[in-house]
Amino acid sequence: MQRNRPLSAQAISVLRALAADPARWRYGYDVATEVHLKSGSLYPILVRLADRGLLETSWEPGRGSRPPRHLYRLTLAGREYVAALPAARASGVGRTVPRPHNRWSEA
């Protein structure tokens, strides 16, 4: 059975930022600015969250000479994860929170 490593504090902060308005699509740079993460830390976290099925992505069409832009928001599993987070962290059972699908090994 594959096991997921527990998420880092930075990944948790990204999840919390996205959970503030879970229905809204967010830009990566905006999330990075909000949680004070550098791009070099943000994207590996986004990749990991998407691989775990906690994050869904989409594209915003480009405008004029600007290229298309990637958008992010939490999946239902992501919302459940964040909702379970405070209790899970306090009791140390964060690793047992159900995660939809482990695709991190495909990285």
Partner 1 sequence: MPIFIPLMCLLGMGVARFRGYARVVPADPAVRDDVPVRLLRWAAGLLSAQRAGWGQAMLGELGHIDGRGRRWRFAAGCAGAALLLAPSGRAAAAVWAMTVAAAGAAGVYAATIVRYRLGAGDWVFAAVVLVLLAGYTLVASVLLRQPGVALPGLLGGLFIALTWLAPAGYTFYDVIASVTPLWAVLVQVIAVPVLVGVAGTLRGGSAAAGRRIARLAAISAGLYIFLYGTIAVAVLGAGGPPGDPNWTVSAIVDDRLGNNAAFYLWFLPLTTAAIGWAAAAATARVHPRLATTVSSTAASLPLMAAGLAAEGSLSPMTPPQQAERPVHVRNWRRTARLALTCAAVAAILILTAAGWLISGR
Binding site for partner 1 (CB under 8 A): 27-29, 38-44, 46-47, 50, 56-59, 61-62, 65-70, 105-107
Q: Burial-class residue 56 by CB neighbours within 10 Å (0-12, 13-18, 19+).
A: middle
Whichever of 36 and 90 has its CB closer to partner 1, that residue is 36
Q: What is the closest distance, in whole angstroms, from the C-beta atom of residue 7 to partner 1 in the complex?
A: 17
Whichever of 31 and 97 has its CB closer to partner 1, that residue is 31
Whichever of 79 and 89 has its CB closer to partner 1, that residue is 79
Whichever of 39 and 96 has its CB closer to partner 1, that residue is 39
Q: What is the closest distance, in whole angstroms, from the C-beta atom of residue 24 to partner 1 in the complex?
A: 16
Q: In terms of residues, how long is the chain?
A: 107
* Phi, psi torsion values for 106, nearest 5 degrees: -85, -5
